[in-house]
Structure 1
Amino acid sequence: MKWLPLIGMCLCVAVILYLAYWVTRRIAMGNMGGAITSGGHMRIYDRLPLGQNKAVVVARVGLRWLVLGVSDEEITLLTELSEEESRIWRQTKQVSSEAAVPKFSDIISDVLRKKNDKK
């Protein structure tokens, strides 16, 4: 009986820590350029950091694809992608992201193959 309040307090602390982790993760994902951020009709598709608080961002606003320079002081329109350029950019982005991350099954098969080759 005297352990019950201690266990209850530990559970409360664990729940509070988990909620703090979850909230900060959601906030960070919304503000990071690496993550795709979206609103009603606007979406950020890619971000390239150039320095402290400076980046180049590819965003879609409605049907328009924009390349923006972003800093603490201002946001500058660098160029607007045509429909063909945006289509090519999306295809190359998709191919490069798929090629950059190997599949888990490929990694396991490579490890097993190397292990069998050593025997």
Structure 2
Amino acid sequence: MNSVISLVSVLIVTILILYLSYIFTKSIGKGFGLKRGGNYMQMLDRLPLGQDKAIAVVRAGSHYFLIGIASSQITVLAELTEEDIQNSLNIPNPQDKDGYPDFISILKKYTDKNRKDS
């Protein structure tokens, strides 16, 4: 009988430790996670292209930037304005929280524009 009580108490303590570990790591993970936006700047979308390489659309105030990200540098590929994006893509205002510009549409617009310029 004494061994059954001991076994049950060890099981309860183990479950309690696992639960508290889960809660602790979940709360710590929120603090160290990737922050996608701030008050004035926000990464709207990111497309990985390979190991340590990606392209992204970033909003800073009312400007949008298409940037290239590599392990050693970040390059501005194109600078956009909010009006330019809304007029050409006919999307809702991002300030309304209804939605953000579609990354593929923005990328296609500027790759098509560069093809026409060549």
* Aligned partner of 1:93 among 97, 102, 118: 102
Matches within 5 A, 1:28-107: 28=33, 30=34, 37-87=36-86, 88-89=88-89, 91=91, 93=102
CA RMSD of aligned residues (A): 2.9
Structure with bigger gyration radius: 2
Aligned positions, number: 89
SS in 2 for 1:40: coil
Code of the residue aligned with 1:6 in structure 2: it is: L
CA separation of 1:19/1:53 partners in 2, compared to 1, >3 Å: closer, same or farther? same
- Specify the alignment match of 1:100 in structure 2: none
Alpha-carbon distance, 1:60 to partner: 0.5
Aligned-residue sequence identity (percent) comes to 29
Shift of 1:24: 4.1
- Using structure 1 for the length normalisation, give the TM-score: 0.58
Letter in 1 for 2:24: L
Partner of 2:11: 6
2:25 corresponds to 1:20: yes
Cα distance in structure 1, aligned partners of 2:38 and 2:61: 11
Structure 2: gaps of 5 or more residues: 92-100, 106-118
With normalisation by structure 2, the TM-score equals 0.59
Q: Which has the higher contact order (CA 8 A, sep 6+)?
A: 2
CA contact (8 A) 2:62 2:81 kept: no
Distance 2:15 2:90 in 1: 48
**Residue deviations 1:52-97 (CA, integer Å, cap 9, x gap):** 1111110011121111111110111111013333224582629x9x
Structure 1 residue runs without a partner (length 5+)? 32-36, 97-119
